[in-house]
Amino acid sequence: MKKVALLATALAMVTGSAFAADMPVKALKAPPPPAFDPWDVAFGGAIMSDYIFRGITQSNHKPSVTAYFEPRYNVTKDLQLYMGVSGESISFPNRAAAEIDVYGGIRPTFGAFAFDIGVWGYLYPGGTCFFGAPGIDFAGNFQGAECAEKALLNANVIKKDLSFFEVYGKATYTVNDNWTFGLTEYYTPSYLNSGAWGNYTSITGKYTAPSTIFGSSGVGMYVSGEFGRQWLGTSDSFYGTATFPNGIKYADYNTWNVGIGFTYKVATLDLRYSDTSLSKGDCNAFTSDWSARGNLTASTGTFVTAINPSGVGSNWCGAAGIAKLSFDLTAMTNLK
């Protein structure tokens, strides 16, 4: 009897286990994927020892500060729409003290290729008109009372409003985690409101060091450079000379820069060298730099060119070193 009882017990245990295995088990639901939020905002600011734009100082080789705010809308993970506003402190010959940029565009991505296409507006409020020959330009046009009563000491001329816009396209190819290369193109029908069209093309390259180069410190490093060419058309009569009363053909020029940067979290320290092929005389004609008299930067008497008969020269387009400390954040990444 004992053997029968033990056998019955064993069969019951085995049968119960089999039944348990056949019973449906209620699976736990996986948490829902996070909702896709297409909106994001990028913002940041910087302080730099010199504000250089395409090889030419915009701040009279003095320090400058900048800040920007850029809302973004991600249609998909590979297509972004954006618009933004930024501001930089400047020091222009017409006494404009700020540059306000308003821009917007689209950023599509196709695999390793990223594109950026848009429109950029440069606004320079607070300017004053200066004219070397009070009241009348070289084409015989009266420039108005606000311009007629003022003249720069070196006979340079400059308009009150230098605002203009450019359309642009950029393409970037990411080779791997370390190497990226790019091509940029900008065009405007009137550069700095001079009446001269402008076309700027450049190639860029960047090497980002492996994240392990500084161990676990979180510090990153990169080396980058750019080589570009600025083509320029003929100005309107406001900037004409006695030889060219209807306007001057600005000199085309090359510009280049190379630098090294260090990153830590949202901060970047960029150290860069910049230069151009512009002579001091052609630089003076293009920038309307101030006279050396009055503690500014232009020199006099030795830099005569076809478009710069006064001989006044400017160092605004020459070699310069720039140190820039910037902070860049996005709401989706840094403010969660």
- Does residue 133 fall inside a structural domain? no
Q: What is the phi/psi pair of residue 12, to 5°?
A: -65, -40
Full DSSP string of 251-318: PPEEEEEEEEEEEETTEEEEEEEEEES--HHHHHHHH-PPPTTTT-S-B-SS--BTTBTT--B--TTS
Report the alpha-carbon distance of residue 151 to residue 316 in Å, rounded.
Answer: 20
- Does residue 147 fall inside a structural domain? no
Q: Give the pLDDT of residue 290.
A: 74
- Does residue 5 fall inside a structural domain? no
* Sequence-distant contacts of 300-304: CB under 8 A, at least 24 apart: 300/154, 303/279
CATH number of the domain enclosing 112: 2.40.160.160
Q: Give the pLDDT of residue 135.
A: 45
- Does residue 212 fall inside a structural domain? yes
- Does residue 45 fall inside a structural domain? yes
Q: Which of 115, 119, 147 is nearest to 133 (CA)?
A: 147
Q: Give the pLDDT of residue 149.
A: 56
Q: Give the pLDDT of residue 240.
A: 87
Helices (H) and strands (E) in the chain, counts: 4, 14
- Single-letter residue type at 267: A
Q: Give the pLDDT of residue 96.
A: 92
Domain encompassing residue 302: 37-126+158-229+247-334
Q: Give the pLDDT of residue 210.
A: 95
pLDDT per residue as tens, the chain (336 positions): 455 454 455 444 544 544 444 555 555 666 666 667 899 999 999 999 999 999 999 999 999 999 999 999 999 999 999 999 999 999 999 999 899 999 999 999 999 999 999 999 999 999 988 875 544 444 455 555 557 556 676 778 899 999 999 999 999 999 999 999 999 999 999 999 999 999 999 999 999 999 888 988 999 999 999 999 999 999 999 898 888 889 999 999 999 999 999 999 999 999 999 999 999 999 999 999 875 333 345 555 688 898 988 888 899 999 999 999 999 999 888 876
- Single-letter residue type at 69: F
Report the alpha-carbon distance of residue 19 to residue 50 in Å, rounded.
Answer: 80
Q: Which of 118, 200, 111, 99 is nearest to 167 (CA)?
A: 118
288 sits in the region (left: phi over 0; alpha: psi -120 to 50; else beta) called left
Q: Give the pLDDT of residue 35.
A: 67
- Does residue 316 fall inside a structural domain? yes
CB-CB neighbours of 8 under 10 Å:
10
- Does residue 19 fall inside a structural domain? no
| Residue 237 DSSP SS3 | helix
Q: Which of 167, 37, 177 is nearest to 106 (CA)?
A: 167
Number of domains in the chain: 1
- Does residue 4 fall inside a structural domain? no
Q: Give the pLDDT of residue 330.
A: 95
